[in-house]
């Protein structure tokens, strides 16, 4: 075919094309001629240079030297402007200067400048020289600190080779769309930036000329930016130039000198003499002779954009001056414009370099060699040229016709080379995401291209499309520019997206997820591939021939598949290697982790320092983990412990984690072990303590009781004596306690310091009854010898009777005549600290025993006051039952602005084995129903009213929560409660010196309407579902109260992966959401929907889904089709009443229903 014949010429001829000359424009205008003839230093505010934006960091400086360039600025004038960027980490000062009173909106604008790039660091590709618009439409012109849009832009980028850089250009983008060859640092270049307005949209052109020769404007620029971008506004036009320095994001600007800026509307006016070349007419020949080796050169046949360089030897005789060299056109570039006379007249002559860049038409230009006193010599240069279409994006291939020759100026990376056919086929992807399939059928040499090669500057020819896919023949001559070591990140899409628009992903490297191989699972991969699905979408996975995937087993599912989309009409992915398929080995079933903890030594054992011991073993049984779980240890004394395992593998496993204890110091050391798993509900943490001592330095206790005598007193008249003790090297705080004595003896402290001397201990004898008492005081510490002293005391007389504390508690305490819609109690005025509490409207009752609730002031912060209850009594001879009640004022449910109840609870000195019990009670005195509580005896007024503990509060009751306030916000709206009710805080325990627990209540409120809160219309949701069938709940309503931000919704809990919630965000005022569920496992699945918003307590919706098999009724022939039933949907709403099953089947849409207490699926 003709196109193939043309392409063959690429391998036979060195091609150069001709371009027509463009005459200079008439009535040209010079808008700006800037040589920086000002004062050295800051450029800002000199010569009308203004800020472009408000950044004033690192001002642009005027420095020496000024720049020069032959035929443009031959002599240095003024200064040059220095822009810096390579050592900056952010954007810095930008300057702009207006060159036209009105914005230019038609024709062409030329902006020339001399530049000398000194540094261009890695991470470059920042533009430093632009033409710009004014800041706003209504501005009179360029205004200081206002930044208008910039069109076009000149970029500086680092080159591959040291000492080099690359120039780039774009129309208005943040990155260049065309780039130069490598240029030399510290070398002055003349650049001309040209912007041409073209009627229409996204078609204005941008060109950059580098070191153009004086004379006519070249028909072909060195760089042409991608025109398919937004045009400069024709409303404002182009009106100024900008100088930019610094860096942006990860891009680094250059260090560059810039000088001799000229802005005109014609090429000729860029040159100081109008661009004319003195032809030296009618020279008078002398004796000089100029002799070129060739007077006619035929370069051959080329395609447009090809470059070719040759030399011609020039010799001369009897010259008096140098030889001036000029060319009649603009397509030839000469190595010099002046040949030294001494070189031309030497024995070897001068080799004149001639470079040609092919244009779209044949070349016919004349080189003239002239020197005063010698007759001119000429060289005719001709070449044949064929046009080629330049492109930078593979997406343009579909617009080209068969036999069309194209030249790729962009950059593309090879993603695969298919060597299975007669000739290799190359798949490549450009920087814009376009993909191409390139045939090497027309290669003259062997294909050496491989995956990861970046290719540019190559020719190709379009063939006839095959099955809608362009056929592209790649040429390997002239040589393709290749650099190695690049990668292409695949586009991550779904199979649905690919099936919906395969043409957009043609020949691109893609990654699809969630692939099911269906019936092909277990068979072997072949070139025919396998049908796959993802959800309801079908596609095909097909290996390239000859890959390591052929013959391997096809998995059931794949988490992801990477490959090349090779069809324009279907979802077909061609896979390059076995590594491109990530098989989904996710285990079937819910993930779980069970941990069995075993101490390998006695918990109370003390270990010698500097001796390792296996301290604990954790046996972890994991099932169905989707990814490995991380294991790490932490804690205050982490450095005293080590573990042997750092990870629990995915899937099913049993792992033994050994904690080794190697103490280097004495004392009690704390550590923790954490298993961090996905989902987070499986994560677990364990804390542990180990003990260490120094065998060579055991702790010591000494007691001095020489002056202690027998105690003697009367009942309720305490007497004291003092002894002293000393300690040395205790491993932990020691213990002092009284043993025996029926509570008649007590001591001033129960704790010994680790190292102390002659510490006084006061012993008090305070008998509550008459008699003779004996006891002992034990001084004990770990690994130390216990010291014991004996006490005796004699008491006479009778003990007084203790009065009952608090308020009188009768049925009158439940008076509802003054119900309050708003109650706020912060306990600031509730009485003296550690004395019985009293608040107007509240009832503080000692129900059993004599003790009631107390007021309390925090000793560390006296501004904090609260209610306190404890059963501890150091004076009690023996333990006795005590029961106390703190009763709120009567609360008005109906008239409260919000039915929100709030309070705080904190426990101290709590034990895991405590008998102390705190309850929050709802009390309705008006109902006929009564409830007998464990809290109260039958004779209490509480026995005459309805009183019920509020369940689900999780009131703290173990040592782990000592000292932590727990805040409660209870939403009582919509509950079946009395119009008037009470809240009680009931406490029961055994009063005595063995009861240590204390509880505190603070910040009680009812009816406040200023509390941030997320209100659900129901606390629980029950769903019915069918195995392998998705079910969606009814809409759940949410009301946001006093929220300042949106509400976030998430799923937590053991079966969270089976549920989804939509939407996942609601506005602050609230809205509605639904819960969806799907599982292939029969049974009850549970989760929580967590609702969060800044400043509000989290709210939770408890969800349970009963997943069961269904009975399908396909027609009225079912045995019970005539039965009359009520029909309910899965939300429990009756939708049909007393209708036959047959009739219901006709009327109902497909779905699951409850008919006559039976689940029925209507198809």
- For residue 846, tell me if it sits in a domain: yes
Q: Are residues 74 and 86 in the same domain?
A: yes
- Among residues 325, 328, 298, 324, the alpha carbon closest in space to that of 310 is found at 298
| Cα–Cα distance, 32 to 48 (Å, whole number) | 12
Question: For the stretch 295-317, what's the b/e string if a residue is b when 16 or more beta carbons lie within 10 angstroms of its beta carbon?
Answer: eebebbbbbbbbbbebebebbbe
- Shared-domain flag, residues 856 and 990: yes
Based on the fold, state whether residues 216 and 111 are members of the same structural domain: yes
Residue 335 pLDDT > 70: yes
Joined together, the tokens standing for residue 995 give 């009861």
Say if residue 953 is in the same domain as residue 1095: no
Share of the chain above pLDDT 70, in %: 91
Q: Which domain holds residue 242?
A: 35-266
Closest alpha carbon to 223 in 146, 296, 148, 156 = 156
Yes or no: say if 314 and 354 are a contact pair by the CB < 8 Å rule: no
How many helices (H) and strands (E) in the chain?
4, 87
Q: In what helix (H) or strand (E) does residue 922 lie, and over which residues does it extend?
A: strand 917-924
Contact in structure between 743 and 993 (CB atoms under 8 Å): yes
Q: Under a CB-based contact definition with an 8 Å cutoff, are residues 568 and 502 in contact?
A: yes
pLDDT tens per residue, range 407-462: 998 889 999 999 988 889 999 998 777 899 999 888 888 888 999 999 998 999 98
Q: What are the residue ranges of helices labelled H in 371-421?
A: none
CB-CB neighbours of 410 under 10 Å: 21
Q: What is the pLDDT of residues 998-1048, one digit of tens each?
A: 999 999 999 999 999 999 988 888 888 888 888 999 899 999 999 999 999
CA 751 distance to own-chain centroid? 52
1079: tokens are: 């599982």
- Three-state DSSP state, 959: helix
| Residue 360, in any domain of the structure | yes
| Residue 273 belongs to some domain of the structure | no
Half-sphere exposure of 15 (CA within 13 A, CB side): 29
Quick check: is 453 in a domain?
yes
Residues 1052-1063 pLDDT 10s: 887 888 999 999
CATH number for the domain harbouring residue 226: 2.60.120.200
How does residue 86 score in pLDDT terms, banded at 50, 70 and 90?
low
Which of 1108, 1135, 1154 is the last residue before a domain boundary?
Answer: 1108
Q: Is 806 part of any domain?
A: no
CA distance 285 to 414: 61
Reduce the DSSP state of residue 396 to 3 states and report it: helix
Please say if the pLDDT value at position 1117 is more than 60: no
Residue 754, domain member (yes or no):
yes
Q: For residue 22, what is the DSSP state? A: B
Q: How confident is the model at residue 1113 (pLDDT cuts 50, 70, 90)?
A: very low
At 680, give phi and psi (nearest 5°).
Answer: -65, -20
CATH of the domain at 627: 2.60.40.150
Q: Would you state the pLDDT for residue 799?
A: 67
Residue 666 and residue 706 share a domain: no
- In 372-488, DSSP assigns E strands to 374-386, 389-391, 405-408, 412-418, 425-430, 435-439, 454-456, 458-462, 472-474, 481-483
Considering the domain boundaries, does residue 634 fall inside one? yes
CATH number at residue 1070: 2.60.40.10
Question: Model confidence at 936, in pLDDT bands (50, 70, 90)?
Answer: very low
DSSP for residue 617: E
Distances from the Cα of 1151 to the Cα of 548, 1031, 1036, angstroms: 47, 9, 21
What spatial distance separates the first Cα and last Cα of the chain, rounded to whole Å?
61
Last residue of a domain, one of 557, 583, 609: 583
Q: Are residues 881 and 854 in the same domain?
A: yes
Which pLDDT band holds residue 1134 (cuts at 50, 70, 90)? low
pLDDT at 269: 84
Measured in whole angstroms, the distance separating CA 530 from the mean position of its chain's CA atoms is 36
The pTM of this model reads: 0.39
- List all residues 6 or more positions away from 696 whose beta carbon is below 8 Å from its beta carbon: none
Q: H/E/C letters for each residue in 800-824?
A: CCCCCCECCCCHHHHCCCCCECCEE
Q: Do residues 394 and 415 make contact, with C-beta atoms less than 8 angstroms apart?
A: no
Per-residue pLDDT band at 20 (split at 50, 70, 90):
very low
* Mean pLDDT, residues 101-126: 90
Asked whether 210 and 323 are in contact (CB, 8 A), the reply is no
What pLDDT score was predicted for residue 1135? 72
Measured distance CA(559)–CA(139) in Å, rounded = 57
pLDDT band at 301 (very low <50, low <70, confident <90, very high): very high
Is there a single domain that holds both residue 463 and residue 497?
no
Asked whether residue 2 is domain-assigned, the answer is no
Distance CA 1144, CA 905 (A): 55
Residues 783 and 860 in one domain: no
CATH value at residue 412:
2.40.50.140
Residues 747, 886: one domain?
no
**Mean pLDDT for the chain overall:** 87
Evaluate if residue 136 carries a pLDDT over 70.
yes
Gyration radius from the chain CA atoms: 46
Query: Do 532 and 644 sit in the same domain of this protein?
Result: no
- Token pair for 260: 């001799």
Domain boundary (386, 408, 424) is at: 386
Q: Are residues 880 and 995 in contact, defined by beta-carbon separation less than 8 angstroms?
A: no
Please give the Cα distance from 983 to 842 (Å, whole number): 10
Q: Which of the residue ranges 34-48, 462-476, 551-565, 668-682 would you say has the lowest mean pLDDT?
A: 462-476
Is 398 in a helix, a strand, or coil?
A: helix
State the pLDDT at residue 328: 87
Same domain, 984 and 861: yes
The count of domains in the chain is 9
1154 CA to centre of own chain:
45
Q: Check whether residue 382 and residue 393 sit in a common domain.
A: no
């Amino acid at each position: 075919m003709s196109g193939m014949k043309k392409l063959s010429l690429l391998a036979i001829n060195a091609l150069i094309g001709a371009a027509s000359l463009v005459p200079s424009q008439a009535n040209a205008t010079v808008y700006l001629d800037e040589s920086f003839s000002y004062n050295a230093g800051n450029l800002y505010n000199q010569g009308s240079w203004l800020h472009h934006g408000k950044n004033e960091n690192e001002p642009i400086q005027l420095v020496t030297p000024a720049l020069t360039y032959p035929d443009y600025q031959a002599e240095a004038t003024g200064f040059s402007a220095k822009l810096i960027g390579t050592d900056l980490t952010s954007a810095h000062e930008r300057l702009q200067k207006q060159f036209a009173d009105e914005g230019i909106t038609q024709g062409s604008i030329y902006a020339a400048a001399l530049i000398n790039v000194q540094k261009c660091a890695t991470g470059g590709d920042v533009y430093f020289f632009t033409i710009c618009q004014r800041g706003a439409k209504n501005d009179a012109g360029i205004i200081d600190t206002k930044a208008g849009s910039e069109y076009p832009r000149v970029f500086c980028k680092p080159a591959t080779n040291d000492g080099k850089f690359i120039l780039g250009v774009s129309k208005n983008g943040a990155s260049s769309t065309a780039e130069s060859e490598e240029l030399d640092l510290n070398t002055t270049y003349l650049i001309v930036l040209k912007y041409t307005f073209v009627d229409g949209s996204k078609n204005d052109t941008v060109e950059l000329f580098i070191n153009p020769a004086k004379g006519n404007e070249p028909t072909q620029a060195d760089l042409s930016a991608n025109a398919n971008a937004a045009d400069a506004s024709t409303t404002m036009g182009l009106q100024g130039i900008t100088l930019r320095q610094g860096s942006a994001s990860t891009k680094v600007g250059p260090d560059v000198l810039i000088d001799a800026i000229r802005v005109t509307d014609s090429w000729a006016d860029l040159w100081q003499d109008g661009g004319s070349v003195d032809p030296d007419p009618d020279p008078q020949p002398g004796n000089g002779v100029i002799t070129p080796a060739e007077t006619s050169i035929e370069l051959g046949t080329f395609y447009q954009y090809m470059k070719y360089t040759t030399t011609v030897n020039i010799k001369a005789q009897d010259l008096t001056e140098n030889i001036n060299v000029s060319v009649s056109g603009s397509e030839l570039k000469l190595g010099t414009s002046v040949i030294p006379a001494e070189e031309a007249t030497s024995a070897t002559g001068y080799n004149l370099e001639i470079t040609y860049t092919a244009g779209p038409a044949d070349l016919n230009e004349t080189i003239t060699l002239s020197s005063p006193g010698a007759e001119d010599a000429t060289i005719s240069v001709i070449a044949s040229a064929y046009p080629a279409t330049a492109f930078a994006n593979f997406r343009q291939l579909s617009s080209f016709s068969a036999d069309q020759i194209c030249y790729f100026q962009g950059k593309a990376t090879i993603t695969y080379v298919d060597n299975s056919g007669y000739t290799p086929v190359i798949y490549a992807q450009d920087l814009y995401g376009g993909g191409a399939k390139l045939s090497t059928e027309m290669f003259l040499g062997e294909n050496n291209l491989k995956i990861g090669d970046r290719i540019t500057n190559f020719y190709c020819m379009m063939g006839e499309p095959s099955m809608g896919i362009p056929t592209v023949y790649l040429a390997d001559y002239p040589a393709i520019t290749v650099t190695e070591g690049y990668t292409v990140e695949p586009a991550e899409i779904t199979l649905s997206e690919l099936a919906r628009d395969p043409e957009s992903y043609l020949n691109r490297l893609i990654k699809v997820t969630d692939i099911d191989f269906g019936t092909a699972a277990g068979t072997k991969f072949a070139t025919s591939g396998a049908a796959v699905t993802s959800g309801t979408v079908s596609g095909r996975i097909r290996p390239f021939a000859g890959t390591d995937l052929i013959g391997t087993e096809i998995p059931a599912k794949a988490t992801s598949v990477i490959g090349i989309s090779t069809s324009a009409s279907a979802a077909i992915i061609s896979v390059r290697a076995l590594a491109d398929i990530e098989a989904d080995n996710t285990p079937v079933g819910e993930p779980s982790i069970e941990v069995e903890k075993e101490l390998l030594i006695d918990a109370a054992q003390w270990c010698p320092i500097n001796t390792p011991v296996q301290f604990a073993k954790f046996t972890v049984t994991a099932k169905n983990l989707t990814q490995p779980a991380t294991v790490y240890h932490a804690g205050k004394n982490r450095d005293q412990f080590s573990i042997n395992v750092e990870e629990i593998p995915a899937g099913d496993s049993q792992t033994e984690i050994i904690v080794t204890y190697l103490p280097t110091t004495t004392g009690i050391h704390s550590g923790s072990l954490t298993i961090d798993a996905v989902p987070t509900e499986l994560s677990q943490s364990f804390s542990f303590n180990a003990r260490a001592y120094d065998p060579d330095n055991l702790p010591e206790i000494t007691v001095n009781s020489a002056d202690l005598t027998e105690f003697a007193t009367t009942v309720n008249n305490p007497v004291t004596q003092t002894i002293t003790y000393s300690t040395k090297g205790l491993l932990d705080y020691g213990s002092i306690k009284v043993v025996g004595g029926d509570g008649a003896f007590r001591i001033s402290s129960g704790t010994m310091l680790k190292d102390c001397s002659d510490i006084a201990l006061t012993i008090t004898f305070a008998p509550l009854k008459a008699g003779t008492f004996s006891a002992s005081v034990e001084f004990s510490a770990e690994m130390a010898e216990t010291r014991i002293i004996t006490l005796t005391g004699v008491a006479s007389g009778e003990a007084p009777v203790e009065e009952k504390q608090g308020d009188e508690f009768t049925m009158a305490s439940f008076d509802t005549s003054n119900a309050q819609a708003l109650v706020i109690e912060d306990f600031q005025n509730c009485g003296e600290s550690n004395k019985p509490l009293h608040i107007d409207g509240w009832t503080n009752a000692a129900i059993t025993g004599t003790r009631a609730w107390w007021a309390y002031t925090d000793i560390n912060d006296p501004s904090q006051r609260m209610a306190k209850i404890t059963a501890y009594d150091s004076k009690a001879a023996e333990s006795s039952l005590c029961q106390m009640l703190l009763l709120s004022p009567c609360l008005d449910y109906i008239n409260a602005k919000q039915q929100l109840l709030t309070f705080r609870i904190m426990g101290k000195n709590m034990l895991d084995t405590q008998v102390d019990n705190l309850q929050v009670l709802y009390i309705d005195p008006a109902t006929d129903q009564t409830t007998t509580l464990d809290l109260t005896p039958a004779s209490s007024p509480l026995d005459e009213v309805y009183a019920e503990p509020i369940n689900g509060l999780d009131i703290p009751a173990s040592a782990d929560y000592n000292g932590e306030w727990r805040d409660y916000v209870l939403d009582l709206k919509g509950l079946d409660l009395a119009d008037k009710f009470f809240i009680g805080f009931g406490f029961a325990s055994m009063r005595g010196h063995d009861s240590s627990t204390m509880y505190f209540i603070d910040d009680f409120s009812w009816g406040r309407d200023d509390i941030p809160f997320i209100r659900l219309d129901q606390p629980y949701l029950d769903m019915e579902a069918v195995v392998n069938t998705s079910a969606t709940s009814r809409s759940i309503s949410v009301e946001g109260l006093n929220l300042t931000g949106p509400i976030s919704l998430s799923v937590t809990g053991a079966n969270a992966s089976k549920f989804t919630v939509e939407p996942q965000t609601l506005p602050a005022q609230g809205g509605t959401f639904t819960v969806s569920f799907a599982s292939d496992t029969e049974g009850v699945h549970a989760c929580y929907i967590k609702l969060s918003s800044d400043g509000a307590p989290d709210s939770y919706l408890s969800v349970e889904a009963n997943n069961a098999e269904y009975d399908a009724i396909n027609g009225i022939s079912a045995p019970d089709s005539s039965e009359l039933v009520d029909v309910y949907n899965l939300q429990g709403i009756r939708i049909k009443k007393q209708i036959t099953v047959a009739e219901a089947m006709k009327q109902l849409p497909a779905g699951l229903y409850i008919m006559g207490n039976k689940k029925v699926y209507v198809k």
